Each structure stands twice: as structure tokens, then as C-alpha cells.
Structure 1
């Protein structure tokens, strides 16, 4: 199976390669395309505009011509996958769809952590749409200062900041903590109080299914 991933951060390529290896998916072929300009445009615009959504969907459609499945790994641009999926001949998935579905099966407080402000609204919208446990309650939190560290290239500091935020939510009584962006995945290995859900693992399982 040929799975093509569209990223908006170069560092996410290694994140997905690691996740695939941990899930034992070596028999599948992974192709990675990185377009940081798409996320940069959304950040500059203060969110996902119709133009950027269409532009991203066009990229996904082009990638779908030579793949068995296409995964959009950027949470800010997520709805572009839904748009592309309407006309693509193969599945086009947003990596956080399966994440939302798994998280909202939890009874109790589900806390979704985001590092980029532009991810808050798309994530909130996605989590509100999926089928949920009657006792699931969603909370959204922006991890202050984390994205600045990421943009400065301080990946270790970025992941430590997110892990600390996740631990604080577990201490606060969260039944489930979600790392909403793929770039946050490494923080799941650094937490002390619980194991947060991450989008690469959930998304890759969904792609295979």
C-alpha cells in the first residue's frame, strides 16, 4: 500500500516514519511531501481561508493520483481533506479525524491541547462533529509559548512544554488528554501522569483500515 502524507512541517516526516515503524508498517510504502507555506499562509491570514483550503485540496488531489491513500497531517488545514475527498479516486483522510473519534469515546473530561492558535477552531469543530460518549466533555487548551519554541527550532523545549501541560491536565482530572497536532507527538513519551493520544498513531491505523 502506498500512503502519501502531506505535511506542513518538515520535522513531521520523522514523526510519521517513527509512528509507522512502531506500528510495524514496514511493508507499506510511505511518501512524504512537505508544504510549510500552506500553514504559514493560514497563520498570516489568522486561520484557514477558502482560498488556502482550496489550494491545499488541489495539492491533495494531485498527490492522490499516485497513491492508495493520502493523509493530511496538519490540523489547521484539516477540512481541505474533506473537500479533496469529495472528488478523489482514493481515500483522502485528515490525520486527526481518527484521533477525535477515539478521544470522544471517553467518559469524562477530554482535553485537547493545541500549540498553534489557528488549530483551536478546526480542532474544536472536528471534535464536536464526531460521535461521542454521553459523558464526554471537551475542553480546548492552547499551550502558551510552545509554538514560539517550535519556530525557533527548540524541539526539545517545545515537547517538554507540551508534556508539562499534559501532566497538568491529568492532575486536574482529565480522563483523556489529546495532542491535537502531529508535531506534538514526541511529548507523549515525556509525560509522567498518563499517556496522551496522538494523531500519527490514530491516523495511520485509520489509513490502513
Structure 2
């Protein structure tokens, strides 16, 4: 059976990607690797500080038979792609989303609930814009207080805070939800009709792209 490895920094992502597999690629075997300390250290010391541990996690996934590895953490996704693992493809979950945002237009707002995610995501969108030969004016916005709600297990409060931040965005061609954990706010945004631009999240397009790699 074909295997896709997934590197997470929160166990909350496991059921999200299991559901995507069940809905779209039931024959694909997923192996999840969760290390919450990677995000904690990256927030404190910077993403490069966890490069060796990320490489070790990728090596373990490949040793377990992964045909490709998807990193679902936006903060360390760039590091995961950089350190790679031999001939096995490594993809950061937000890259396909960034490409979609660039295609939507030049005015892109990046929303994040963790400050350490803003820089890497902005850089990724700008990278995808250069690759596509398009202009991009990227505006980062931190949803203050939301991550504390997530950490406390208040998923409802987290989702509503993200949706409220989306509703406040004006003058944008696309709104990027920088972290995979923010994707659950998309449905609430649709129900409320509060978005003034397309709202993009990473799990579904990231999973689809990784599945194609294997």
C-alpha cells in the first residue's frame, strides 16, 4: 500500500487529514508523526533551531516506508522542505494554498494566530508570486488572543475569533488562513457571509498535492 507520512506539531491535525484521506484517497495509507515541541521551540528560537529534529523526523518517516512527507505546520514547513530526505518528496502543506492566493490577485492578506507563522507564510506567498511571474502585495495580520483559546481547548472561541478577523479584512483579493488549525473557520465564514474576498486554507489542497506526489 502507498504510504504518505505527515509531520504535525499538534495532534488536532491527525483527524483532519484522516478525514481528507477517507473522503478522497481511501487506498492511501497515512502515518502520522506528532511532535508539539517543534513548534514550541520554533516560536522561541526560530524555525532554523529545529532543523536537526525535523530532519530526524523525516528520516524516520522514510524509514517507515513513506513515499512522500507532508509537513502540516506552517512555521516549520520551510525548514522541512529545505532539509528534505533524499529522493523522497517533502511538501509544506501551505504551498498549494499560497499558489492559489497568488492566482487570485495581487492583494493578499495573511491571517495567523501564531506570530511565528506570519513571516514564513508571507515569504512563501512572495516566493510563489515570483515563481508565477506575478505581483503580490502581502499584508500580515495576527489574530490576537486566538492561539490562547486553541491551547485551552476552546475550539469554538478559536473559530469565532478567526471568523471575526476575516470579516474585518477589506481591500484584498484573497485571504489566507496561514495555519491548518484555522481551516475549521471557513465553514463559519461561509455561514455568516462575512468575507469580502475568497478565504483559503491549507489542509485540502495540501493533502491533494501530497497524495499526487506518492
Q: Same fold (TM over 0.5)?
A: yes
CA RMSD in angstroms comes to: 1.7
The Cα of 1:135 is off from its aligned counterpart by 4.8
Match of 2:120 in 1: 122
How far apart, in 2, do the equivalents of 1:103 and 1:19 lie? 21
How far apart, in 2, do the equivalents of 1:88 and 1:60 lie? 10
Contact kept in structure 1, 2:33 and 2:57, CA below 8 Å: no
Q: CA, structure 1 residues 190+113, in 2 after alignment: closer, same or farther (shift >3 Å)?
A: same
Match of 1:199 in 2: 202
The Cα of 1:133 is off from its aligned counterpart by 6.2
Q: CA, structure 1 residues 116+89, in 2 after alignment: closer, same or farther (shift >3 Å)?
A: same
1:145 equivalent in alignment to 2:157: no
Match of 1:62 in 2: 60
Aligned counterparts, 1:1-209, within 5 A: 1-22=2-23, 24-45=24-45, 47-48=46-47, 50-65=48-63, 66-85=65-84, 87-130=85-128, 131-132=131-132, 134-169=134-169, 172-191=170-189, 192-194=193-195, 196-209=199-212
**Which ranges of structure 1 fall in alignment gaps of 5 or more residues?**
none
Contact kept in structure 2, 1:74 and 1:181, CA below 8 Å: yes
Partner deviation per Cα, 1:1-32 (whole Å, 9 max, x = no partner): 2111110011111222233344x221211111
- TM superposition outliers: structure 1 runs of 4+ over 6 Å: none
How far apart, in 2, do the equivalents of 1:39 and 1:63 lie? 18
- Aligned partner of residue 31 in structure 1, secondary structure: strand
- Aligned partner of residue 10 in structure 1, secondary structure: coil
How far apart, in 1, do the equivalents of 2:133 and 2:188 lie? 28
Larger % of helix: which?
Answer: 2
What's the TM-score, normalizing by structure 2? 0.87
**Which ranges of structure 2 fall in alignment gaps of 5 or more residues?**
none
The Cα of 1:167 is off from its aligned counterpart by 2.1
